[in-house]
Amino acid sequence: MSRREVHESMRVRIEREVCTGAGDCARAVPEVFVMGDDGLARVQEGGIPLGDDAGASGFTLWAEVPDSLASAVEQATADCPGACIVIEHSAPEPEPAPEPEPAPEPEPEPEPKVVAENVAPSPRSSIPKRIGFRLRRLFG
Ligand code: SF4
């Protein structure tokens, strides 16, 4: 189980063309189902009845079902004599992909060592030799 809470939501609508108008749903879950003036059931959200779905003839719009009413709506759906209550469960939100690890910084290339080749010795390096040579001439 991740640290993030997995949440599945439910929504419901009614296929009004096959609603019998018996009103069982509205009596069972009045927060979600309401009877219209035409004698057929509707869904409502926050106490506001939702209209017909212009894109799906015969159906009402979808109403979100609060978690606290989900089991009651499922029961009303099972008990509906017209089998016209449609429930849809939204898929749980996918886990966010983990942030990719930043690529390690490449090691800096070591400075190439300059190897002196065929370099004449510094004149200073010959000073002790010359002093030694002179001393040997003087005292040797
Ligand atoms: S229980 Fe079903 S058939 Fe009865 S009013 Fe509600 S939606 Fe219509």
> What confidence tens digit (pLDDT) does each residue in 47-74 have?
999 999 999 999 999 999 999 999 999 9
Residue of the nearest CA to atom 8 in ligand 1?
A: 19
99: pLDDT strictly greater than 50: yes
Ligand 1 centroid–CA 76 distance in Å is: 9
Task: Say what the pLDDT of residue 96 is.
Answer: 79
For residues 103-128, average pLDDT: 70
Could you tell me the pLDDT band of residue 4, with boundaries at 50, 70 and 90?
A: very low
20: pLDDT strictly greater than 80: yes
Pocket of ligand 1 (CB under 6 A): 14, 19-25, 33, 41, 80-82, 84-85
Q: Residue for token digits 């966010």? A: 96
Task: Say what the pLDDT of residue 137 is.
Answer: 74
Ligand 1 centroid–CA 99 distance in Å is: 48
For residues 94-113, average pLDDT: 81
Task: Say what the pLDDT of residue 122 is.
Answer: 59
Instruction: Count CA atoms within 13 Å of residue 74 on its CB side.
Output: 10
CB of 32 closer than 8 Å to CB of 85: no
Copy the structure tokens of residue 119.
């370099």
